[in-house]
Amino acid sequence: MTRRPCSRLFRPGCGQFLALALLLLLSGTGRAQSATQKSNVMPGAPAASDYVGSDACSTCHEDESKAFSSSPHWPTTKDTRHGAAFQGCEGCHGPGKEHVESGGDKTKIFSFTSASHKDVNARCLTCHENSQEHANFQRSTHNLSNITCIDCHSQHHANEQVKLLKATQPQLCYTCHLEKKADFAKPFHHRVNEGLIQCSDCHNPHGGFLTQQLRSASDQNAVCYRCHTEKAGPFVFEHVPIKTEGCTSCHVPHGSTNPRLLRVSQVNLLCLQCHTLTFNNPVPGAPTFHNQAAKYQACTMCHTQLHGSNFSEFFFK
């Protein structure tokens, strides 16, 4: 597992500062000294003594605090390795001393609901950006479209305690991608609405290296091979377009009115898009004995292994 929350600590500036803060904390030196030190290292960064700990918050925020003990973030309160800046309430909301001393001045604490989308994402990414799942969030279409972590997740009001989601999939995705709902209601579809597979099996909502926020298979190949491994080959006789143009040159990924999620309603029309005898076409035309009599229309009756074969260059059984 590559998930390594808080490993931002290992960046030079940050680590240095935290090491210092930790040292100061351990040696029990006062605030004045830490303040001078911090301005040398990272101007404006909060000092360890600006943190009051989660217990202090519970006196005024009973609801959030009670629910917190069953949150996946609760263990951070006990994880002292990276210092107070990564623990409990203040791990997300920042140092709370001034907020507490002022009796709850809203402007003295980081508020997710009024912060800019950039600041919200930056907060969450302090701990999450080094996981494989989230490393590409900054360049994801979601981020570039001003979508934030808390459009999909909620710390205190999640409907799904698992993964802190605001709603289960696919409803979560349909709140913004309503038009996709129609695709998955077509007669032939990947059973997403039925819960058999999820949008996030094919897409990484946190972005990735591929277009359309698509995931790849473990060998970095097309997402379709994650489940349809038998189509991956390698085959002695490859059907060229499958490797060069990909599965979606013949199939739609979501749903279709055509059986087998095909792009066109009749298989022969699909094949003949490429296999026509025309001048300059490098693809062999269907042989002349394939007069389009009924017998030859169902191409895949004979060419059954059209995704690739180890036995027949013509993709017979």
- Among positions 254-283, residues that touch ligand HEC (CB under 6 A) are 254, 259-262, 267-268, 270-275, 283
3-class state of residue 309 by DSSP: strand
Binding of residue 191 to ligand HEC (CB under 6 A): yes
Binding pattern for the stretch 34-53 against ligand HEC, x by CB under 6 A and - elsewhere: ------------------x-
Site for ligand HEC in 139-178 (CB under 6 A): 141-142, 145, 147, 149-157, 162-165, 169-170, 172-173, 175-177
> Which of 20, 242 has the CB closer to ligand HEC?
242
Q: Minimum distance between the CB of residue 21 and ligand HEC, rounded to whole angstroms?
A: 15
Cα 101 from Cα 86, distance rounded (Å): 21
> Which of 25, 73 has the CB closer to ligand HEC?
73
Cα 278 from Cα 20, distance rounded (Å): 74
Site for ligand HEC in 69-108 (CB under 6 A): 72-73, 76, 86, 88-93, 96, 99-100, 103-104, 106
E runs forming strands in 207-298: 255-256
Cβ within 8 Å of residue 92, ≥6 positions away: 73, 110, 112, 123, 124, 155
Q: Which of 171, 287, 310, 311 binds ligand HEC (CB under 6 A)?
A: 287
Q: Which of 17, 24, 38, 206 binds ligand HEC (CB under 6 A)?
A: 206
| 170 cis-preceded (ω within 30 degrees of 0) | yes
Q: Which of 41, 45, 136, 201 binds ligand HEC (CB under 6 A)?
A: 201
Cα 164 from Cα 161, distance rounded (Å): 5
CA 50 to chain centre: 34
**No. of helices (H) and no. of strands (E), the chain:** 16, 2
Q: Minimum distance between the CB of residue 230 and ligand HEC, rounded to whole angstroms?
A: 7
